C-alpha cells in the first residue's frame, strides 16, 4: 500500500461552473514556472492569479465557453503537466546559466577585432578610385570637352 510521503507534492483543485481553482506552493513550484504555465493557457481560458498567502499562488482558470466537469478535470490535469514542464525548463535554465553566459561572452569577444581588422585591410587593398564601369560620381567634375 502506498502512503503519500511528506515531500510528495499534491495537486488538489476545486471545480465550479466553468472554472477550476487551486493554490500552488512556491517552495515546490517556482513562481516563474507558474507564470510560464499560465501564459500557455491564456488562449484557451481566462487565467487569474492571486497571492492568498506568503509563498502561495492562487490560480483560477475560467473556460471561455461551457465546460463539463470532465473537461474541467482534464484542463486541471493539462495545467499540472504543463506546470511540471515549466519547472523542468526553469531548473535547466538555472543550471545552464553559466554555460550560456560563457558562450555569449566568447561569441561577442573572441574574434570580433580580428574580423574587423581583416575587413579594413581588404578595403585598403581595393582600388576605390578606379571605376571600370565609368559610373559618374556627382562630386567629380565632368571633363570640359
Secondary structure (DSSP) of 49-110:
EEEEETTEEEEEEEESS---HHHHHHHHHHHHHHHHHHHHHHHHHHHTHHHHHHHHHHHHHS
| pLDDT for 10 | 61
Tell me which of 2 and 134 has the higher pLDDT. 134
The CA distances from residue 81 to 17, 77, 84, 125, in Å, are: 22, 6, 5, 61
Q: Residue 108: what are its φ and ψ, rounded to 5°? A: -85, -25
What is the per-residue pLDDT across 30-74, written as a single tens digit (0 to 9) for each? 999 999 999 999 999 999 999 999 999 999 999 998 988 899 999
**DSSP designation for 39:** H
pLDDT tens-digit profile of 74-129? 999 999 999 999 999 999 999 998 998 888 888 777 655 567 777 777 777 765 65
pLDDT for res 91: 92
Residue 129: predicted pLDDT = 56
User: Could you say which architecture CATH assigns to the domain 14-97?
Assistant: 2-Layer Sandwich (3.30)
Query: What is the number of residues in the chain?
Result: 145
CA nearest neighbour of 13 among 47, 46, 82, 61:
61
* pLDDT one-digit tens code per residue, 109-120: 765 556 777 777
Range 9-13 average pLDDT: 70
* pLDDT over 60 at 7, yes or no: no
pTM of the model: 0.62
- Looking at per-residue confidence, does 111 or 19 come out higher? 19
Q: What is the pLDDT of residue 6?
A: 41
- What pLDDT, on a 0 to 100 scale, did the predictor assign at position 56? 92
Q: What is the pLDDT of residue 31?
A: 92
Q: What is the pLDDT of residue 138?
A: 72
Amino acid at each position: 500500500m502506498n502512503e503519500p510521503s511528506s515531500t510528495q507534492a499534491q495537486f488538489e483543485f476545486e471545480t465550479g461552473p466553468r472554472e477550476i481553482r487551486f493554490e500552488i506552493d512556491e517552495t515546490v513550484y517556482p513562481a516563474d514556472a507558474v507564470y510560464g504555465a499560465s501564459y500557455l493557457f491564456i488562449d484557451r481560458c481566462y487565467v487569474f492569479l492571486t497571492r492568498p498567502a506568503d509563498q502561495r499562488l492562487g490560480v483560477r482558470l475560467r473556460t471561455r465557453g461551457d465546460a463539463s466537469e470532465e473537461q474541467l478535470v482534464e484542463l486541471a490535469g493539462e495545467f499540472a503537466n504543463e506546470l511540471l514542464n515549466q519547472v523542468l525548463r526553469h531548473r535547466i535554465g538555472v543550471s545552464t546559466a553559466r554555460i550560456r553566459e560563457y558562450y555569449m561572452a566568447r561569441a561577442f569577444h573572441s574574434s570580433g577585432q580580428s574580423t574587423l581588422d581583416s575587413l579594413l585591410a581588404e578595403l585598403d587593398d581595393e582600388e576605390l578610385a578606379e571605376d571600370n564601369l565609368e559610373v559618374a560620381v556627382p562630386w567629380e567634375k565632368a571633363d570640359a570637352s
